[in-house]
Amino acid sequence: MKSPIRESKRMSAILLSIIFLVCASATVDAQTRAVEGTIFQMGQQRITIPAPDGFEEASSQFKSIKDRFTVTEATGNEVLAVHLPKSDCDKLRSGVAIDLNFYTKISVRESVRASDLSPPQFARLISEFRGASSKIMDINSPETKTNLARMNRNLSELNQQEVKIDLSQPVNLGEFDTRPNIYSVMLLVNLKSKTADGDVVKVIVGSLSYVRVKQRLIYVYTYREYKSTNDIEVLRDFTKQWIGQILAAN
């Protein structure tokens, strides 16, 4: 199999997925209500992704949600699921636009979606991330600038108007979950979105978790608008609990 390690350029794109807020509000285009858990075929393995408590899988229900997360995903990755609070989904079904202030995403690397990941390979992946973290998290690196330009271009095409996203240098809040088969890191970033409709300025706390499930690697992202230090604690506890539910479901 192609090794998922030693890919620092790809990691910079994954990092950008941690801190990249889908700024434009979502509009209604409901299709079908999602079930509590979604099953994905990954080679010979069937991976179950349960919705977090109080959330629904939204990308299967709302085309606007699926489109926005697809165009902002790292190149070579596939978005499997996006979860929003049930209250946000209810608003969308009622035709009310929402701001994305608390949400999740599950992604996989397409090239290794069907490949086994051994415990030593998982350990090497984490070791490489730790060793290259300062470079990966450099907002001024050529790789990050290229990925940000691609995301701005894709969002501009999707919105049919120019979108300009500016990000501050992310603050690394550190690792917070290193149980077997899990590696989670959290970041804090200032974000500014500029469109013809006006400017949006937010502070976002986001997490990336590498999770090994049934010998497969999935990327688990969680995001929350930051208003106080309590939001960091809320997102940390939410992420740990949900990852525990994902592992228990498999």
Cα dist. 48→22, 51, 54, 131, 250 in Å? 25, 10, 17, 31, 6
* pTM to 2 decimal places: 0.86
Q: Calculate helix-pair angle for 8-19, 119-131, nearest 10 degrees.
A: 80
Residue 48 belongs to a domain: yes
Q: Which of 131, 201, 132, 133 is closest to 168 using CA atoms?
A: 201
Residue 198 belongs to a domain: yes
Phi, psi (deg, nearest 5) at residue 148: -65, -40
Q: Which residue has the tokens 């009622």?
A: 94
Domain containing residue 162: 8-249
Q: How far apart are CA 163 and CA 16, in angstroms?
A: 16
Residue 122 belongs to a domain: yes
Residue 123 belongs to a domain: yes
Positions of the chain with pLDDT under 50: 1-9, 21-28, 30-35
Name residue 110's amino acid. E
Q: Mind listing the pLDDT tens digit for each residue in 100-113?
A: 899 999 999 999 99
Residue 1 belongs to a domain: no
Are 36 and 51 in contact, with CB atoms under 8 Å apart?
A: yes
For 181: left if phi > 0, alpha if psi spans -120 to 50, otherwise beta; the answer is left
Residue 142 belongs to a domain: yes
Residue 2 belongs to a domain: no
Q: Mind listing the pLDDT tens digit for each residue in 10-30?
A: 555 555 565 554 444 444 454
Residue 102 belongs to a domain: yes
Q: Mind listing the pLDDT tens digit for each residue in 76-97?
A: 889 999 999 999 999 999 988 8
pLDDT (0 to 100) of residue 199: 78
Q: What is the total count of domains within the chain?
A: 1
Q: Calculate helix-pair angle for 142-159, 63-71, nearest 10 degrees.
A: 150
